[in-house]
Structure 1
């Protein structure tokens, strides 16, 4: 199940703390993408089967304060629409066996006769 998690962070003013927050968020298993909204101090994580408690705990360890704002499931409408479409006409090509080539056996090796005699 794909889900979207929004977490409020305390101090993400400088570049070092922003990079640390992104690195921590992306390192959690199941995270597909993470975006950081600097003006609001929010990080938005999208992924499949993300452990929200583990993600929040790791962000708290690295940035001292993190609070879960919301957890929502994301529906994939595009894939459902693609599945409903009728399959296009397909052509099936039947190929026979590859051609077989017959080779004549090699003549036995004969030593050349002595040219001196």
Structure 2
């Protein structure tokens, strides 16, 4: 079940907004993050299996203040999704196959004998 979590934050400038978005997007299970509200001071997080209390605590730790406004089920907007899918044409799929790899060339094995340490060779005669 997808959840929609709304958290109110003091986001006065673009730097604090982007920092809050990065923190929220890094949480496990988050699928979408948006800044909403009349004053752009609320963070809307949509995802599956989101721990809203942990997310709020993390935002409080990294930013100044965070208040959990609401937690509920995310409703699907089928009309907007269908319009977006119908209006954007799909780009053609281009397949690229890399050239085959044959590995390394075979190496020639050469035996080198050392006449000084070879016991079969007699140095006295």
Shift of 1:77: 8.2
What is residue 55 of structure 1 aligned with on the other side? 55
What is residue 27 of structure 1 aligned with on the other side? 26
Shift of 1:17: 0.6
- 1:66 correspondence with 2:60: no
What is residue 101 of structure 1 aligned with on the other side? none
- Unpaired runs of 5+ in structure 1? 79-117
| Residue correspondence of structure 1 range 29-48 to structure 2 within 5 A | 29-37=28-36, 39-48=39-48
3-state SS, counterpart of residue 33 of structure 1: strand
3-state SS, counterpart of residue 28 of structure 2: coil
Shift of 1:14: 1.1
3-state SS, counterpart of residue 54 of structure 1: helix
RMSD: 1.7
